[in-house]
Amino acid sequence: MAQPLDTLPLADDVRHAIKAWQLWLLQERRASPRTAESYLYDMQDLLRFLRDYRGGVATLAVLADLTLGDFRAWLAHAASAQGSIKAKQAASRARAVAGVRHFFHWLDRTGQAHNAAIDLLKTPKTARRLPRPVTVDEAEKIVTGTDIVADVPWIAARDEALFTLLYGAGLRIGEALSLTCGDIGKSKKPQERLTVTGKGNKQRVVPLLPIIHEKIATYRALCPYANDADAPLFVGARGDKLNPVMAQRHLRLLRRALQLPDSVTPHALRHSFATHLLGAGADLRSLQELLGHSSLSTTQLYTRLDDQKLAATYRAAHPRARKQL
């Protein structure tokens, strides 16, 4: 969590630059608040390190004067037990480099400071983790078993509609919880397509299966709160927009009741959507559009899952694979 800037020994020019950068991220770049806060946290980590490493007050001139050695010392510190980036993991350090580099690039573009060393700093290599989807049978158990852990009928129907939407349309949990009743349309005249606003405020259009409309219609009929067009589609027990933490908690309780692995999360339902479509013959470009990935390389992770399944099938089925050669 980012700390107040007042806790750091910063010159006014740096303090004002950071605040302007954050405002630009949110208003001009249209970054999510979580992304902006993550970048701020990473920049603060560097500034805390410089406080102890070089001493004195950080100014724009000091930041422009940082050497490649200074940046490497910061990363080495971050990887140590004393580093405030707890992970010691390459993924966390790679994200930190991205956040800091973004700030320095913004300083350069706005003419406030230039530092060539930041571009010489190598990003720690990370092994991209493969998505962990559920099976088709497990997905069926999840979307039909919500009444196991929810005693209130309309809440069980809400969870069933939400999980069906995540699995049936490949939405992120934040995307689903940002929907309004008007986005879905009236129950008597359901929309065949849904416009979703994803990361970076990028919009995409996804098709809606009849089963998704059916589950949402059932939930809306039972929900005791208003279904006005601008009202949130998924609401909590008090009628406010459903908190993602609560949705995650309900799925966690459900997976325990169904004795499913800990990898079963709302995001795993999105992974399952992609994996099952790819296994059924969907092409990567279409899958990229449906998922809202800006890069095809992100979507290609799912082909590695399919390759693993193919290899396992081969080893189990081929006569020579079952013999000692």
Domains, the chain, with CATH or none = 5-119 (1.10.150), 136-312 (1.10.443.10)
Q: Residues 77, 141, 270, 271: which is the catalytic one?
A: 270
Residue 220 appears among annotated catalytic residues: no
> DSSP strand E in 94-208: where?
193-197, 203-207
Q: Residues 15, 29, 199, 252: which is the catalytic one?
A: 199
Q: Residues 77, 172, 213, 220: which is the catalytic one?
A: 172
**What is the CA 251 to chain-centroid distance, rounded?**
17
Q: What is the pLDDT of residues 118-143, one digit of tens each?
A: 999 887 765 555 557 788 888 889 98
Token pair in block for residue 138: 């497990």
180 CB-near residues (< 8 Å, 6+ apart): 229, 230, 231, 232, 233
Residue 199 appears among annotated catalytic residues: yes
The reported pLDDT for the residue numbered 160 is: 95
d(CA 258, CA 186) in angstroms, rounded, equals: 33
The reported pLDDT for the residue numbered 291 is: 78
Residue 48 appears among annotated catalytic residues: no
d(CA 283, CA 270) in angstroms, rounded, equals: 17
Residue 39 appears among annotated catalytic residues: no
Residue 293 appears among annotated catalytic residues: yes
Residues of the chain whose pLDDT is less than 70? 1-7, 81-88, 90, 125-131, 186-190, 294-325
Residue 270 appears among annotated catalytic residues: yes
